[in-house]
Amino acid sequence: MSMKSKTMDRRIIKSKTALKEALLLLMQKKDFNQITITEIVRHADLNRGTFYKHYPFKEELLDEIMDDVIKDLIASYREPYQNVSTFILRDLTASAIKIFHHVEKYANFYVLVVKSNALSGFYKRIGNELKQLALQDLSTYKTEDPDLNRELSASYQSYAILGMIIEWINQGFKYSSTYMAEQLLKIIHLNPVEVKVSHPTDK
Amino acid sequence: MSMKSKTMDRRIIKSKTALKEALLLLMQKKDFNQITITEIVRHADLNRGTFYKHYPFKEELLDEIMDDVIKDLIASYREPYQNVSTFILRDLTASAIKIFHHVEKYANFYVLVVKSNALSGFYKRIGNELKQLALQDLSTYKTEDPDLNRELSASYQSYAILGMIIEWINQGFKYSSTYMAEQLLKIIHLNPVEVKVSHPTDK
DNA sequence: TAAGTTAATAAACATCTGTTCATTATATTT
DNA sequence: AAATATAATGAACAGATGTTTATTAACTTA
């Protein structure tokens, strides 16, 4: 667990770390929803009041764990730029590869969080449904590339749409659905015709 | 609220509907986390035991509300196919447009769920971070199309990657990250070079 | 419509939650 | 090293949770 801040009392760091470790431990065994705060502090060997001093509820603790992971994700994404002088426009590929490495590194955590219903499902549900729909399309028509992984492709396509929807929502529906459709077309066309991947120092 | 099943007792339907309406009402005013089950049944004018007869916890109730919405989403996606005889391979566009209509229809609900921390953030967080990263890239280099909405494009790209990651996780990391990167390249190349959109009976 | 089935209720119980407060222990600062 | 600050503790409280049990009310089907 990262947890390092100049102005942070060592006692806080210890307490928070203990709480995070306790939660992760418990999440291996049981559902996030079933875990009680009392249980967490029992495992962390801390007073219950200490929990509430730092977090209003369980979800917040999990959020902070995610912070640690996401920090590494950002670092991973940024990594390729350091080593490559020329960057191909619109090409997220080099970064994406690093992101895959990041996920692999934190595999345990990712499995835990994705499987758990801590997310309580909206994105998960929508994403899943869209994926099923895209999948059925992909299986109906055969693509020119036999090595294409249909599952991954379907997931890519459907979450991409979900991404647009979420952006739309967050912008307060200030666009018409027709505009959204137009943008989708633009985005799809935007995709790189020629992609050059940079493989910098694959450590 | 939909809620219609042949074998379902009318009392169940009434109770469940009341609970759903109560939760949605409360979610307008306060955070999902702050809402107690006692509060829900108080608004629904039902015994607390009735809640527990149908749902183990709040999240499950919200899940069922989502079911109703997602049913409509699927119907929306399927709609274009009914009216169009020839379907363009790899083209999710016609369906996607219908999905935008669906989201517009349920706008209130979508806003509620996306804003609320019922999701308790993983997808949200990851998606957001990836989006910021993609956004910075897009602003660094100017695209050929000035009408392209950068925010939407960034969200599209980042959630697409997230989609692949989630699929990867759910498959138990059975692929290498190199394979993942290869697939990403394939998927990007797969994108339709010429897109024909069918606009069937835009009701 | 009457009989049989099952949902909803009320009450009660142990446990968990969220909060407060005085006290003790452990940091940081000078 | 002493003074100061603040984190952690333990205890206590009202309210919420999750479960059970017997009773009443509402629905289904024959």
Q: Among the listed ranges A21-25, A90-94, B93-97, B150-154, which one has the minimum average pLDDT value?
A: A90-94
pLDDT for res B112: 66
User: What is the separation of C-alpha B63 from the centre of its chain, rounded to a whole number of angstroms?
Assistant: 12
Contacts of A118 in chain B (CB under 8 A): 120, 122
Report, in angstroms and rounded to the nearest whole number, the Rg of chain B calculated over CA atoms.
21
Q: Which of the nucleotides lies closest to B13 (Cα–C1')?
A: C7
Continuous H helices in B30-149: 37-44, 48-54, 58-83, 93-105, 107-115, 122-140
pLDDT for res B66: 76
Kindly determine whether residue A122 and residue B113, on different chains, have CB atoms separated by under 8 Å: yes
Q: Does B12 score more than 90 pLDDT?
A: yes
Q: How far is the CA of A36 from the C1' of C15 (A)?
A: 11
Q: Does B169 score more than 80 pLDDT?
A: no
In this structure, are residues A46 and A13 in contact, taking their beta carbons and an 8 Å threshold? no
Model confidence pLDDT, tens digit, residues B18-54:
999 999 889 888 888 789 999 999 999 999 999 999 9
In the stretch 122-161 of chain A, residues with CB closer than 8 A to chain B read 122-127, 129-131, 133-134, 137-138, 140-141, 143, 145, 147-149, 151-161
Checking phi first, is residue B136 left (phi over 0); if not, alpha (psi -120 to 50) or beta?
alpha
- Per-residue tens of pLDDT for chain A, all 203 residues: 555 555 689 999 999 999 999 998 898 888 888 899 999 999 999 999 999 999 999 988 988 887 777 676 666 656 655 544 333 333 445 555 555 566 666 666 666 665 565 444 566 666 766 777 777 666 655 556 788 888 888 888 888 887 887 787 778 778 877 787 778 778 876 554 333 333 333 32
Continuous H helices in chain A: 10-29, 37-44, 48-54, 58-83, 93-105, 107-115, 122-140, 150-170, 177-190
Closest CA to A202 of A107, A106, A84: A84
